[in-house]
């Protein structure tokens, strides 16, 4: 879906107290931004941020960063925020490929990938966020035994992700191909896409994997 131009959007993002537009300045200093030493969890490709806002409300003792490269999408996200949003999350406008410039090693406890673009054509497989080169980046910024939480409605992408994780030596310790009819549903926070898929009766795949030892 093509999003309409938002007049003054750039200025809104630059001046909004819940949006980080120059994340490189916080490399190794994210705890200072949050003014605490709580664990940091990151979602890459957050869309309008419904998932991360829900997680922040639910877990006050965890800090959250919601990455999205599309400014128009972030603007739609901040338009939905309450007047007094939780202090334990921020939107970050940046591309995932820059994360080595944004985080030190061992700075992140958990990564979320929710309904990432499946890039169905084989020649585009390297663009999938669970491709081995991305997993290698995640390994650098995650703490020892750090986790990747991955949800998708796309069975092909799910199977591909399992293969890539195994190839990189990650340990998959939780997996379901029908999240909403499983024992793991209780702790689930839905994304906007997930709500639509569930209404259509589509099964949601989920796995949790632990990063390989460094």
Binding site residue list for S-adenosyl-L-methionine: 43, 68, 95, 117
Q: Which residues are annotated as a binding site for substrate?
A: 121, 153, 191-194
Q: Which residues are annotated as a binding site?
A: 43, 68, 95, 117, 121, 153, 191-194
Question: Do residues 175 and 110 touch, judged by C-beta distance below 8 A?
Answer: no
Residue 153, both tokens = 């409605």
Residue 44, both tokens = 């890459």
Residue 102, both tokens = 């944004």
Q: Can 86 be counted among the known catalytic residues?
A: no
CA gap 112, 129 in Å, rounded? 11
Residue tagged active-site, from 86, 101, 117, 159: 117
Residue 179, both tokens = 């999240």
Find, among 24, 7, 15, 44, the residue nearest to 131 by Cα: 44
Residues catalogued as catalytic: 117
């Amino acid at each position: 879906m093509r999003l309409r131009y938002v007049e003054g959007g750039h200025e809104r993002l630059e001046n909004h107290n819940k949006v980080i537009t120059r994340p490189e300045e916080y490399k190794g200093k994210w705890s200072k931004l949050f003014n605490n030493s709580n664990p940091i969890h990151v979602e890459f490709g957050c869309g309008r941020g419904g998932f991360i806002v829900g997680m922040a409300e639910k877990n006050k003792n965890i800090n959250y960063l919601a990455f999205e490269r599309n400014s128009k999408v972030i603007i739609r996200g901040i338009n939905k925020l309450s007047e007094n949003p939780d202090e334990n999350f921020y939107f970050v406008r940046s591309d995932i490929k820059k994360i080595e410039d944004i985080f030190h090693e061992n700075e992140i406890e958990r990564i979320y990938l929710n309904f990432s673009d499946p890039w169905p054509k084989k020649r585009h497989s390297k663009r999938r966020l669970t491709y081995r080169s991305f997993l290698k980046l995640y390994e650098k910024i995650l703490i020892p035994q750090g986790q990747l939480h991955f949800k998708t409605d796309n069975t092909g992408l799910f199977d591909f992700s399992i293969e890539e994780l195994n190839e990189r030596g990650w340990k998959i310790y939780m997996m379901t191909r029908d999240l909403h009819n499983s024992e793991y549903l209780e702790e689930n926070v839905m994304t906007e896409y997930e709500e639509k898929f569930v209404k259509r009766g589509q099964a949601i795949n989920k796995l949790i994997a632990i990063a390989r030892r460094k």
